[in-house]
Structures are given as structure tokens and as C-alpha cells.
Amino acid sequence: MSGYDPVSIRVQPTLARLHRESVRGKPFTMPFATLCAALRIPTEVRARLLRKLVDEGYVTEESIGQVRLTEAGITMAASPSARPMSATAP
């Protein structure tokens, strides 16, 4: 078994996208559904991903359906060491 976790592999890309949107001068809150749609995150993974992001302190849930990046989320989004290594063929 490869240890593939469809939620964990989406944490950093989700945070990076939310951070990029914030950096562009848009509000720091964003509809989570819009964020997931932009990243093509499957519907069945979204609730678990949101719970993981909130539980680990990377985002806060704001008004209904909105998320806000926290300082921990900004750090994770900007950290090159937090990005998953891409697999390379031998």
C-alpha cells in the first residue's frame, strides 16, 4: 500500500492557492467551495479537507462557507519544505 491520503496531499496546494488569492489584494476570506472548485478537489474529499485545515490551525471558518488563512496557514503555504516532493522516475 502506498500510503496515499487524498486529504493530506491537498493541504499544501489548498493553502498555497488561498495565500496567492490573498496576496493579489483580494479579501483574506474566500468561499471554500470556490477554492475547492478551482483546485478540482473532489466533492467527497472537501468536508474532510476543511476539517483538517481547521483542526490543524491553518484556516478559520468565517461566515457560512468562507475560510480565512491564519498565520500558521501563511507559513505553511509559503514554506518550500512543506511542498510535497514530486516523484521522479529512476
At residue 26, the pLDDT reads 60
Rounded to whole angstroms, the Cα distance separating 57 from 71 reads 9
Strand order in the sheet with 59-61: 29-31, 66-69, 59-61
- Termini Cα distance of the chain: 20
pLDDT per position as a tens digit, 77-89: 988 665 444 433 3
* Residue spans of the chain under pLDDT 70: 1-2, 24-27, 80-90
Average pLDDT, the chain: 84
In CATH terms, the fold of domain 8-81 is: Arc Repressor Mutant, subunit A (1.10.10)
